[in-house]
Amino acid sequence: MVVQSYYDFASSTGFSVRLGSTKNILDKETDQKILLMKRLLCSKQGSPNLILPSTHGTRRKNGVFRCGYLASIKFKRIDMSDKWVTDSVNLDHNHSFTTHSKIRYLPINRSISHTSKILFSSLADVNVPVSQQAVYFSNQLGGPENMGCMTLDINNMVRDDRIDLKNYDVHLIVEEFEIKKLENAQFFYDLVKDDEGRLKHLFWADPTMIENYKLFGDSITFDTTYKTNVYSMVFGMFCGVNHHRKTTIFGSVFLRYFVHSL
């Protein structure tokens, strides 16, 4: 494929590629967008002022560098078919290419295979640090030059997996609470989401907790001893003491933020 040929050229030459402009049309029969044109740019194409605007004071260094030139290539689809042709190309780069010894660090040359993702996910499930995962993976392949990825890539993959897991678990627990509410109308739960739709607070109490509160709710303690690092939320319990001087729970809650009293 002509598009893949340009990726291979960039990979061996020593520069990365990013997607530029595209053009689509809507197929009225299938109601789906069809890609007609795409433009690929060198990762350093563009104006540096648009990426790093001037600021007063200090700021964290950014790894994005733009050189203000127009190196790019444009592909067009032929008559709605699966064939593509090169419409225009500009191969003038005003920066030096990555040296051969460092080509493997370019984003275009870094990827994690499906098998490796399974390995990293399994190690993350048993709390093996990403740095140790990278060392183990490097030793198995005979050195970091054979990994095909960097520690940063592994860290990003593990982070994304945890985000997906968190979102799945939130939906799972809400579904479970809805089932409990259908089985017993006295079961109560409530949740609060932030502006991005993510879970912020979650409270629940089953009928036994509610009944215990009615009987022994004269004195209440809010216990936040138990915490979890996976979800970055505080688990709290509303507790009291029954007539046998045993601890009883009135309700439970997950909190995104813990508010300290002044």
Residue 56 in this model has a pLDDT that exceeds 70: no
- At 51 the pLDDT is 45
Which residues does residue 235 pair with via DSSP β-bridges, in sequence order?
254
Mean pLDDT of the chain: 79
170-197: average pLDDT: 85
| Residues belonging to the chain | 262
DSSP letter string, 89-118 = EE---SSPPPPGGGGGGSGGG----HHHHH
- At 261 the pLDDT is 40
Residues 128, 132, 133, 136: is their CA dihedral positive or negative?
negative
- Span 136-178, pLDDT tens digits: 888 888 888 888 888 888 888 887 776 665 666 677 788 888 9
Percent of the chain with pLDDT over 90: 17
Cα distance from N-terminal residue to C-terminal residue, the chain: 65
Q: In 3-state terms, the chain is what percent helix, strand and coil (to 5)?
A: 35, 25, 35
- Span 201-247, pLDDT tens digits: 889 999 999 999 999 999 999 988 776 555 667 888 999 999 999 99
